[in-house]
Amino acid sequence: MRYPPLDSSQTGEILSDDLFYAFVDLIYRQTGIRFDKESRFVLQRRLVHRMRALGLPSLERYYYHLLYHPDREREMDQLIDLVTTHETYFFREKRQLRCFVEEIVPLLVQERRAEPARVLRIWSAGCSTGEEPYSIAMLLRGLPVLTGWQLFIFASDISSRALQVARQGIYGSGSFRDMEPEYEAYVRQYFEPTPDGRLRIRDEIRQMVLFGRVNLLDSSSLALYGWLDVIFCRNVLIYFDTEAKKRAIQNFYERLRPGGFLLLGHSESLLGLDSRFQLVHFRNDMVYRK
């Protein structure tokens, strides 16, 4: 295909100021993640990796490829996989999980016991490779208080590669690090070994989670989830700038039912971002409620 004329001063792996900010804006529009000047060389290395993989002569050509090439959406997926963080593991932040299972879920069941439809809808937003939503599914499966209730667990990420791993449900030892003894029984019950020494989650848990690729800043795509009772978005907003955080939180607010809960990472807060949520103090943790 034909590209705009190439500036001869921008050949090879050179990343000029203008081109750096062009990539930054492009990635931001797609993910909500904004690279700062201190991350310039980290971004450059990742861009060069994709440039070389495509056999392109310069980063400028690669930028045009992302804009105009017929296969640009697939390539954008590849780039997103490189620039997003997939740090996660099973049963992370145990106090919050205890709060969810022992306090939030029973409270929701009690408050809605008079409603004709006994349905609980949970969304793991920014689920990475699936450890979080599968943890939720294991904790809720067979929970006595949910007897007679229909459970929906949605999970989303911006990275197609992370979602592929999540759907396969096969994990190495790193996904089980910092495992508390109280959760080891779930691993024995709901995982089976693979020939290469990893663990595969059993179908009874894998089938409880519906995975999808979603941009947290795109309100139209979130409408597919309908009303939600609980949203987990832990250790995701820390990678967003203030504007993107506010947009994501607005989308969460719109999707939550009145009285629904928003669970953030312990290093995250709505302070200065949104005043409509109530900070609720439970025995095990503090969480936000609409």
Q: Are 237 and 268 in contact, with CB atoms under 8 Å apart? A: yes
Positions annotated as catalytic residues are 46, 157
DSSP structure string for 146-175: GTT-EEEEEEEES-HHHHHHHHHTEE-GGG
| Burial tier of 51 (Cβ tally within 10 Å: 0-12, 13-18, 19+) | buried
| Token pair 């989670």 in the structure block, residue | 209
Question: What tens digit of pLDDT does each residue of 82-98 get?
Answer: 888 788 999 999 999 99
Domain ranges of the chain: 8-83, 94-289
Can you read off the two tokens belonging to residue 2? 């034909």
Can you read off the two tokens belonging to residue 288? 């936000």
| 8-83: CATH number | 1.10.155.10
Q: How many CA atoms lie within 13 A of 24 on its CB side?
A: 18
Report the pLDDT value the prediction gives residue 87, as an integer from 0 to 100.
84
Q: How far apart are CA 279 and CA 45, in angstroms?
A: 41
Q: Which CATH number fits domain 94-289: 3.40.50.970, 3.30.70.920, 1.10.287.90, 3.40.50.150?
A: 3.40.50.150
Report the pLDDT value the prediction gives residue 54, as an integer from 0 to 100.
95
Question: What tens digit of pLDDT does each residue of 46-102 get?
Answer: 999 999 999 999 999 999 999 999 999 999 999 999 888 788 999 999 999 999 999
Q: Are 63 and 26 in contact, with CB atoms under 8 Å apart? A: yes
Sheet holding 256-264, edge to edge: 209-213, 150-157, 119-125, 228-233, 256-264, 286-289, 278-281
In three-state secondary structure terms, 85 is coil
Q: Is 278 a residue whose pLDDT tops 80? A: yes
Question: What tens digit of pLDDT does each residue of 179-221 get?
Answer: 889 999 999 999 999 999 999 999 999 999 999 999 999 998 8
Q: Are 233 and 245 in contact, with CB atoms under 8 Å apart? A: no
Nearest Cα residue to 285 out of 88, 89, 90, 92: 92
Q: How confident is the model at residue 12 (pLDDT cuts 50, 70, 90)?
A: low
